[in-house]
Structure 1
Amino acid sequence: MKYFSLYIFITVYTLGFSQTNTYEISFANAVHHEAQVTATFPNIIADSLVVQMSRTSPGRYALHEFAKNIYYFKATDSKGNNLTITRPNPYSWVITGHDGTVNISYNLFASRVGKGESHP
């Protein structure tokens, strides 16, 4: 019973700190090999939010610069106000000036599978 109570406490405690980010991907312009990605990050406590694009793919150690295929990157707060975006490196964005919520959107171009990877 003691361990069950501890389990319940830890579960409830960690749920209080969970973040409910949401992501949406649409392929409205699939004919041009574009995906429109949107994400919402609510309840941000820090002054800045850092978002990064992966530089590797599962099972491979080779570096890929996936972020080079991202364009029209935009960040707004919960009221739709544009936020300040800086790029400390080619695969990260630092977003500041938010009101606790950050909405990002961008287009991703992906015309083919990368070298060494197979088509599904």
Structure 2
Amino acid sequence: MWNRRAEVEIFGTIGSIAQHSDPMFAERLVQFPAFAETQREAVPAKWAWLDREIADGRPFIAGDQYSVADITAAVAAWLGAFFGADIPDALVNVHHWLDRVQKRPSWNA
């Protein structure tokens, strides 16, 4: 459930930015740059949703254990940074979570 939420709420939004703004996708689909910009504007609210969800202090998105939901959301954060859709600084719960994920050996493997 949490992986699907990370996919739909965050990864999908950032993916739409990429698909509708990056030249790599220009020959694969009809790009709508204005749509990319609306998705870019939506990114802070998507991360804010996750920030509220993990405000209970759990270390990872789905609870106490690292899961595919963490992988999905962390990759979304990486892609977001690449496409100029960063996590807002004020979202401390998300930043603490991402710091935990990025300290894992698998992040740098």
- Per the normalisation by structure 1, the TM-score is 0.27
Which is richer in helix? 2
Name the larger-Rg structure. Answer: 1
TM-score by length of 2: 0.29
